[in-house]
Amino acid sequence: MDIIYKHEIPAAEYNGLRTGAGWRSLSLEQAETGLRNASYLISAWDGERPVGVARVISDRGYIYLIVDVIVAPEYQGQGIGTRMISSIEEWLAQEKEGKPTMMVYLMAAEGKESFYEQFGFKRRPGEGHTGAGMTKWMD
Ligand SMILES: CC(C)(COP(=O)(O)OP(=O)(O)OC[C@H]1O[C@@H](n2cnc3c(N)ncnc32)[C@H](O)[C@@H]1OP(=O)(O)O)[C@@H](O)C(=O)NCCC(=O)NCCS
């Protein structure tokens, strides 16, 4: 199977990947705004069909947040997630040029931690003073 990678995805297709992963669907307006403001985005396509997405939100100073890492269920386990995170890592390496330090964050879904550990991410809480990551939905 030939998977093509792009740096864009329409909001409706992005929402389709979200709901396919059991995540909330967003209003098209919210989704479009979020996609437009991503610092980096990669999407995976099987022909016309979107099968994966991942993006980075950043202040472009030192904070980088990896979000929305999704591979369509029937395409999981074929290296698409790895390819998308590797592409993000390459972009992060470019961003790092000339910067003494950067912090890359992500919130792993339950059971997905080891997928990210292979890229060097550490679980929280972990060593030192790290506490749990925290989030809240505002509905
Ligand atoms: C997590 C996810 C993005 C991984 O993408 P994927 O394309 O299935 O992963 P890959 O095929 O690239 O797998 C790469 C490696 O990670 C491992 N891996 C994949 N999913 C894993 C998981 N949930 N836990 C631990 N390891 C995992 C694979 O075994 C593989 O290892 P190998 O190369 O030694 O065989 C995908 O399962 C997914 O979209 N899940 C639903 C949405 C979700 O939970 N996203 C994460 C939010 S933080």
CA dihedral 93, 86, 72, 38 (to 10 degrees): 10
Tokens 């992963």 label which residue?
21
Write down the pTM of the prediction: 0.94
- 103-106 and 4-6: which strand pairing? unpaired
What tokens does 30 get?
């919210």
37-88: pLDDT as tens digits:
999 999 999 999 999 999 999 999 999 999 999 999 999 999 999 999 999 9
**Does ligand 1 lie within 6 Å of residue 80's CB atom?**
yes
Domain range annotation of the chain: 4-117
Name the amino acid, one letter, at 106. Answer: L
Question: What's the gap in Å between 70 CA and the centre of ligand 1?
Answer: 9
Distance, CA 80 to ligand 1 centroid (Å)? 8
- Does the Cβ of 67 fall within 6 Å of ligand 1? no
Q: What would the CATH number be for the domain defined by 4-117?
A: 3.40.630.30
Mutate to test the pocket of ligand 1, among 71, 74, 75, 83 (most ligand atoms within 8 A of CB): 71
